[in-house]
Structure 1
């Protein structure tokens, strides 16, 4: 309905003057606007222009463009952005406007090429001015009637000075973010009583700001990364409406003591104020403050004491400061939800009074001098995330059991950490990371079922003593993995056999020094993912792997001593992806056909692989087969009917890969995959254009093959291009083309390259050769 109404409205406007668009009240078609401006056919009938204007065709005589448009009220020009140094941009090709209608109420022209608006422009009716990322340096000279003006957005423009805003009494938003040429602002700005938003961020040439005492309506003041501003003015009167003050990246050494007059302040951001040395004690009187960020204030050594009045504070960030300790009065911040002291390398203690009832996230990551975590005397049911990774903590207190709502505990890289308390059995714990805790001697008995634990990270974990009794490890695994443990990383010992029903994922048993999979693993009947990537000593896998009925992904990538893939004695319908790349297998068993759900088989760089069984053709779900780098493989089964991608770069015989491609011509995909990775642009072009190559053309209705010179029987015929390998004269099969005309080649090449840039998945067959020569 909306489209119909729009079309009807457009037709009504066209009927105003069918032959001459300059006599219509509204213009929106680029062609019509170009005609009016280039032929000077505009009339006073034009009231509105809304047009998308490609910059490449933007060169028109703008200086006289609007002289006859005396009734123009709306001007919206959407033009494409080009940087000032772009070769298509000549900064001197546009002259100033001679005239701009005084009735104009909305001027929207981002990326405008003009440096100045008309000196005769009377903005008495202007309400909204948006010229962000434009080349405008000056708006107008002198004092202008600006009573109706409410919004100015010159973000990213080349503005050098602001106009006199004395008469802009109703201005509400002034956005000058990123005006890097602006060195000062007109003093009248600081007297705008109705201004709500003032954004001067990234105006790094600004050096001073005046008092904001007269800005009674101001709610947001952003001076972020005005790196030359060293001092914030005193707040002489109480300002209740200013709620957000951003001073990130400034050079301020201190805040004024009168900061407490900002009684409505909710957010104070002082991030990366690297010269800030102290906070005024009056800051603790900001009762409305909810978010205080001091991260990156590297010279700040202390946080104020007696914070009782900061009852509204919810988030306190002190990352990368020089704070040495927190005062006990932090307990009074009972509404604090997040406390972050990440990388506070001088922090040596935190008080036991840190048990604020609302605290959800406590981050002490990288506090390398923090050696002790305090006893927590009371239950903290809301604390869900505790990060103490990279600290000097040697042990956790037994009172950690009071963190009854803890979901994530990260102790990664705590090299001095030795003992986990047995009280670690929090029911809510989902993720426990002990990676790199090289001094951890043992794992505690788990006295209660940890029914929600889903991630256990033990990589780089080395036991200094083994479990004294097999039942200790069994107890731990029974109490965790039997209740939906989805990840288990780390060192595996071959303990006695036991059954765990619901383990879903064992993804990163990577790089471990085991020769065979512990028998216990075969009883993890709920496992979904099993990887032993780059376990160099791993040699064998038994047929018991078939017991893992839920297994979806199996990776033995990089297990260079793995030589024999076991017989599949039972159907494994859920195994969809099998990675055997960079192993030493010589062949796959005939029973591979029992992997009926297999979609992807990766045998890349299996240098010893010489044979693929014909039974692989019975894998009706197999779509991706990767054989690149299998240099001894010289034969491929003929009946791979369901493949959608075949990658055999660097395989096989010297003259041709295979004696026949057989039924590969009957691939179901209508859009074969284009995979020319490793070829230079010149090689791709010769390949696509058919130079120095043969072509195999499988018919869409049959398996007949023809050469490039053969006639093409149907528009739906699929053309597969073949390129000779310089080293071993192998072939490469790839591109889909609908005909043999040069224009079609170019079109398809562009599509291929565009698809490659998008990283999209285009189904098909690719049998690629080696790298081509670089031009």
Structure 2
């Protein structure tokens, strides 16, 4: 037993053990106990309280564990505790609950309760003064957070995302060290207090928060902002000079976006499911990725001609959009997808996108004109080309697109001919469906071609 008493780490994860034996209490020097994913584990011994040097206890994934010993508060050096995915809960109808002594773990810095059965957090959580990370995500029974959450002055990250029943206001006044706040897919309605003292906040995730009515003035330290809700207007974002990623999603009442041109560090902008949005503001030159999706009333985009750093452009289900201005100026664009933009009648400037590697035009109607199709030959870096539902496409010459490894034409009801297929030595995937092509050249020279899905009306000669 002498050697065991010197043990500092004990790992029993993914075993079929039902109980940890009481003799574990004799391991006086034990610092780490990892029993994660022991789904058959149903109990911990009271003797665990003798482990005065234990600083990590991982019980995540122990789905059969419903209780903790009351003596757990005696683990005076415990810093990291994970109860994620356990049956441990706080429910007055049952005897299964987190013992109050857990809130006496004054050295605790990390507490993980995600996917657990908790339905209530004690006000005593405010006594965990050293807590830096709190994960209560995916706790579907949790309906509110105590106001004492605002006393956690050392808390750096709070994750309450996907707590579907979580509502009310979140107290933020005292969270002076908070860097990351995740409240996505919750029913929170707002914030108690202001963000004035939350001067370290870098990431604020509020997407799929349909009860959120408004946003207070946000701290200038933000680098990531994801937001949704019943907003008619947004607070000014021009102050957020460090913002790198902005997501505006599921805002059914939003008709206009705030000014963005001064956000000189903005790299990624996503605007999705904003059915009343009619226009977009001038975009910052720093933008690398632009995604606009399901904005049915959007009539125009600002000119993109100055976005020379833009790498990705994705436009989908913007039924009123008629034009993409400045496409020819996107010198760095490598990825372009246009889908279900029914009124978009041309892609002027497409032939100038010499950096383009991935082009996807889906349900595109009459988006491609003959002169634009001829411009394909300039896209010599293109590796993937997919066109679907283009009603005006008759003949395509792909002979110059020698880097293509995937080529797909679907539902192009007037497409009669594809020239130059035999020259595409790198082609791996060829898909032709719903196109009235009469013949195809001999493709036996394409040794890398693994799949050819061809409509029955077509013949490979």
TM-score scaled to structure 1, two decimals? 0.50
How many pairs were matched up? 442
Q: What residue number does 1:428 align with?
A: 200
Matched, 1:300 2:40: no
Residue matched to 1:483: 242
* 1:290–1:617 CA distance, 2 compared to 1 (3 A): same
Kindly indicate whether residue 330 of structure 2 is the aligned counterpart of residue 572 of structure 1: yes
Extract unaligned runs of 5+ from structure 1: 1-212, 219-238, 679-724, 739-747, 757-765
SS at match of 1:613: helix
CA 1:637–1:527 in structure 2 vs 1: closer, same or farther (change >3 Å)?
same
Relative to structure 1, the CA distance from residue 673 to residue 346 in structure 2 (aligned partners, 3 Å threshold; closer, same or farther) is same
Cα shift at 1:673: 0.7
Q: Which residue of 1 aligns with 2:175?
A: 401
Which of the two has higher C-alpha Rg?
1
| Contact 1:240 1:264 (C-alpha < 8 Å) held by counterparts | yes
Q: Secondary structure at the match of 1:284?
A: helix
1:500 to 253, 258, 262: 262
- Relative contact order higher in (CA < 8 Å, ≥ 6 apart): 2
1:607 alignment partner, one of 365, 373, 384: 365
Deviation digits for residues 559-581 of structure 1 (CA, Å, limit 9, x no counterpart):
3x246334438733233322113
Cα separation, 2, equivalents of 1:488 and 1:573: 24
How many angstroms does 1:415 deviate by?
Answer: 1.3
Structure 2 residue aligned with 1:545: 304
Where 1:396 maps in the other structure, the secondary structure is strand
**Which residue pairs with 1:728 in the alignment?**
436
1:294 and 1:608, CA in 2 relative to 1: closer, same or farther beyond 3 A?
A: same
Deviation at 1:478, TM superposition (A): 1.5
Per-residue deviation, residues 424-451 of structure 1 (Å, max 9, x unmatched): 66333222111222222210123x422x
Mapped to 2, the partners of 1:534 and 1:734 lie a distance apart of 42
Shift of residue 496 of structure 1? 6.5
Tell me how far apart the structure 1 counterparts of residues 328 and 322 of structure 2 sit (CA, whole Å): 18
Decide which of 82, 87, 106 is 1:321's aligned counterpart. Answer: 87
Q: Distance in 1 between matches of 2:369 and 2:456?
A: 25
TM-superposed CA distance for 1:410, in Å, is 1.0
Instruction: State the distance in 1 between where 2:256 and 2:63 align.
Output: 51
| 2:449 aligned with 1:737 | no
Q: Distance in 2 between matches of 1:544 and 1:284?
A: 66
Structure 1 residue matching 2:111: 3-state secondary structure? strand
Kindly tell me: are residues 283 and 588 of structure 1, through their superposed partners in 2, closer, same or farther at Cα, counting changes over 3 Å? same
Report if the CA contact (8 A) 2:33-2:58 is conserved. Answer: yes
Measure the CA separation in 2 of the matches of 1:274 and 1:280. 17
In terms of fraction of residues, the more helix-rich structure is 1
CA distances 1:703-748 after superposition (whole Å, capped 9, x unpaired): xxxxxxxxxxxxxxxxxxxxxx89734444685638xxxxxxxxx4
Paired with 1:488 and 1:506, the residues of 2 have a C-alpha distance of: 8
For residue 268 of structure 1, give the secondary structure of its aligned residue in structure 2. Answer: strand
1:621-640 alignment to 2 at 5 Å?
622-623=381-382, 624-636=384-396, 640=400
**CA shift in 2, pair 1:478/1:274, >3 Å:** same
Change (3 A) 1:528 1:612: farther
Q: SS in structure 1 opposite 2:158?
A: strand
Name the residue aligned to 2:209: 437
* Secondary structure of the corresponding residue to residue 134 of structure 2: strand
RMSD after superposition:
3.9
Find the partner of 2:148 among 367, 375, 378. 375
- Looking at structure 1, the residues matched to 428 and 443 of structure 2 have their Cα atoms a distance apart, in angstroms, of 5
Deviation string, structure 1 residues 470-512 (Cα, Å, up to 9, x no partner):
xx722xx1222x3233232323541575632425344431232
| In structure 2, distance between residues paired with 1:587 and 1:635 | 18
